Amino acid sequence: MTNLYRKQIKAVIFDLDGVIVSTDNLHYKGWKKLAEEEQIYFDEIINNRLRGVSRMESLEILLENSKKEYSTEEKAALAERKNSYYVELLASLTPDNILPGVNEVLKELKCKDIQVAIGSSSKNTANILKKIALFEAFDAIADGNDIKHSKPNPEVFLVASKKLGIPPEYCVVVEDAVAGIQAAINADMTSVAVGDAKGYELADYSIDSINQLLDIVI
Ligand code: BG6
Ligand code: MG
Please work out whether the CB of residue 47 comes within 6 Å of at least one atom of ligand 1.
Answer: no
17 is catalytic: yes
pLDDT tens for residues 136-150?
A: 999 999 999 999 999
Q: Is residue 218's pLDDT more than 70? A: yes
Q: Is residue 7's pLDDT more than 70? A: no
Percentage of the chain exceeding pLDDT 70: 97
Q: Is residue 23's pLDDT more than 60? A: yes
For residues 165, 166, 168 and 173, what is the CA-based torsion angle, rounded to 10 degrees?
A: -100
Q: How many whole angstroms separate alpha carbon 172 and alpha carbon 92?
A: 31
Sorting pLDDT into bands at 50, 70 and 90, what band is 6?
Answer: low
pLDDT of amino acid 1:
46
Average pLDDT for 65-89: 98
pLDDT of amino acid 5:
46
Q: Is residue 32's pLDDT more than 80? A: yes
pLDDT tens for residues 101-139?
A: 999 999 999 999 999 999 999 999 999 999 999 999 999
Among the listed residues 17, 24, 143, 176, the single catalytic one is 17
15 is catalytic: yes
Please work out whether the CB of residue 16 comes within 6 Å of at least one atom of ligand 1.
Answer: yes
Q: Is residue 20's pLDDT more than 60? A: yes
Percentage of the chain exceeding pLDDT 90: 94
Nearest-5° angle of CA 119, CA 182, CA 124? 30
Residue ranges in the chain assigned as alpha helix (H): 24-37, 44-48, 55-63, 72-90, 102-111, 125-131, 155-164, 178-186, 213-217
From the alpha carbon of 128, which atom of ligand 1 is closest? 14
Which domains does the chain show, CATH number per domain? 3-22+97-217 (3.40.50.1000), 24-90 (1.10.150.240)
Q: How far is the CA of 193 from the centre of ligand 2 (A)?
A: 10
pLDDT tens for residues 37-73?
A: 999 999 999 999 999 999 999 999 999 999 999 999 9
Q: Is residue 171's pLDDT more than 70? A: yes
